[in-house]
Amino acid sequence: SKISVVHCFYFRGGAELLFDGVKKHQVTLPCQPEPWDIRNLLKWIKENLLKERPELFMQGESVRPGILVLINDADWELMGELDYKLQDQDNVLFISTLHGG
pLDDT beyond 70 at 5 = no
Dihedral sign computed on CA atoms, order 1, 35, 14, 69 = positive
Domain extent at residue 65: 6-96
How many domains, in total, are found in the chain? 1
**Beta strands 62-63 and 67-71, pairing class:** unpaired
Task: Answer whether residue 25 is part of any domain.
Answer: yes
Task: Answer whether residue 1 is part of any domain.
Answer: no
C-alpha 55/C-alpha 33 separation (Å) is 29
Confidence grade of residue 1 (pLDDT, cut at 50, 70, 90): very low
Task: Answer whether residue 84 is part of any domain.
Answer: yes
How far, rounded to the nearest angstrom, does the alpha carbon of residue 78 sit from its chain's CA centroid?
A: 16
Task: Answer whether residue 101 is part of any domain.
Answer: no
C-alpha 96/C-alpha 64 separation (Å) is 9
Confidence grade of residue 101 (pLDDT, cut at 50, 70, 90): very low
Task: Answer whether residue 23 is part of any domain.
Answer: yes
Digit-coded pLDDT (tens) for 9-67: 999 999 999 999 999 999 888 888 888 999 999 999 999 999 999 999 999 999 999 99
C-alpha 62/C-alpha 89 separation (Å) is 22
CATH of the domain at 40: 3.10.20.30
